[in-house]
Amino acid sequence: MTTLAKLLAQKQELIARLQQEDVGPEERDEIERLLEKIEAALDLLDKAGPSGPSTARVERVFNPDRKDHHWRRPKLINQGSVITLP
């Protein structure tokens, strides 16, 4: 069962419990606080969308100004000629 389904099932159970006549004032307050927490969690899930958090949709763009990695040995320049390290 997904998180969304669990939250919706818990919300339905709490609403059904809230509609019963034998609920005391303290229990009613606790149920209302739990319903507010569930609504907040549902809002967060709704904002995240079906594919997860919004940070997962970042588009990566090639940056030509980025410094290249030097995978080879560095070259030394000596009086205009190129001398490679041994």
Kindly report, residue by residue over 24-81, the tens digit of the pLDDT: 889 989 999 999 999 998 888 877 666 555 555 667 777 777 766 666 666 666 655 5
Q: Report pTM.
A: 0.53
Q: Which pLDDT score, from 0 to 100, does residue 35 have? A: 92
Question: What distance in Å separates the CA atoms of residue 17 and residue 27, rounded to the nearest whole number?
Answer: 10
pLDDT score for 30: 92
CB 84 within 8 A of CB 75: yes
Q: For residue 4, what pLDDT band results from cuts at 50, 70 and 90?
A: confident
